[in-house]
């Protein structure tokens, strides 16, 4: 059922623009928050992970 088959109620254009604006704002906020969290976790993990891997590899590597 395509939208063109449904007669648009009055005020649909404004409603669509408001909905579009809300979706855009939420998407931008989601991207910003996700990017911030990923960057924050990324720096934490890369710093701790690299040090942990280096020490872990040096500790667990069998002495040959």
* Full DSSP string of 1-64: --GGGSPPPTTHHHHHHHHHHHHHHHHHHHHHHHHHHHHHHHHHHHHHHHHHHHHHHHHHSPP-
Residues 6+ apart with CB under 8 A from 61: none
Tell me what percent of the residues of the chain surpass a pLDDT of 90.
Answer: 17
**Quick check: pTM over 0.85?**
no
Query: What does DSSP assign to residue 51?
Result: H
On average, the pLDDT of the chain sits at: 75
Residue 47 pLDDT grade (very low, low, confident, very high; cuts 50, 70, 90)? confident
């Amino acid at each position: 059922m395509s939208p063109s088959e449904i007669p648009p109620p009055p005020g649909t254009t404004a409603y669509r623009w408001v909905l579009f604006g809300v979706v855009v704002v939420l998407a931008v906020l989601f991207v910003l928050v996700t990017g911030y969290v990923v960057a924050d976790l990324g720096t934490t993990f890369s710093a701790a992970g690299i040090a942990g891997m280096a020490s872990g590899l040096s500790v667990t590597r069998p002495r040959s």
